[in-house]
Chain A
């Protein structure tokens, strides 16, 4: 049903995002409804002692989310995803997302997999770090959550 079998210690495929841009922060503010000016207004961010605008923590978490959904594939589902925000991300930063499988259990046709995840900037600063748990080997109705009766 699902070919991919994860094992403990295995790395999730890394995701390297294009450099974060100021336009992207404006775009993300609009798309998320988070209009805190520290993300978009340079003068405000400087006055706040940040040295310039910084990215939304949730934008970096979204990058890690992309790495996860790319790794999980269409017959799996994310069950839980949590991070701590640890470092600031600024326009020009190149974010790399990575993860390592820490726990695997076999269930029905698939697995429940837990991985540690993080996003780092080009100089190795950890921007976010956390963990995620996902299920693989689901049937179409289970994977989409649209099969009528849900368990």
Chain B
């Protein structure tokens, strides 16, 4: 896995849709009208519905060529999001991920491999809108599933 450190996916165009924002807001039980009522959002100066803060985690950031993320025994360790401007419906964001670090630790639950990804969502002209840093823990010894991600 170490050989893939520094490798990036090719950017994937993500269209931010009103319906997707409304369904996300409903799922998290947040009744903020900015996520549901387009007229309300416009009155406040937004072009359309606003996305909740953790919505960018749902973007497709693409796959790193030649590398498959293991699906079993994954634990979401940490998530950090940097906001350059609010995400609004109608945005078309070009999203890619880079594997920035891989390191191993052995703890009480056995061997753990930490995968650190840096993900960027940018406009067509390259202006960055949101960045995310995700730390995923892979336990090669875990039999099935087993994670809190």
Contacts and interface: CB of A to CB of B under 8 A. Distances in A.
Interface of A: 17-18, 24, 27-28, 30-34, 36-38, 44-45, 47-50, 54, 56-59, 61-63, 65-66, 68-70, 74, 77-85, 87-88, 130, 140-141, 143-147, 150
B80 interface: yes
Top 6 closest pairs, chain A to chain B, by CB: A145-B85, A82-B80, A48-B145, A65-B53, A31-B27, A27-B27
Contacts of A18: 29
Contacts of B46: 144, 146
Interface residues of B, number: 45
A113 B30 CA distance: 23
Contacts of B62: none
Interface string B10-48: 000000000010011011111010100000000011110
A26 to B, nearest CB: 9
Given A49-B146, A66-B28, A140-B45, A150 B57 contact: no
B52 to A, nearest CB: 6
Given A48-B143, A54-B148, A66-B30, A146 B79 contact: no
B27 to A, nearest CB: 4
Interface string B61-77: 00000000001001111
A84 B24 contact: no
A65 B76 contact: no
Interface of B: 20, 23-24, 26-30, 32, 34, 44-47, 52-54, 57-58, 60, 71, 74-86, 88, 127, 133, 142-149
B147 A38 contact: yes
B78 A143 contact: no
A82 B45 contact: no
Nearest to A88: B148
In the complex, which of the residues A17, A80, A85, A150 has the most CB atoms of chain B within 10 Å of its own CB atom? Answer: A85
A36 B57 contact: no
A129 to B, nearest CB: 10
B148 A57 contact: yes
A110 to B, nearest CB: 16
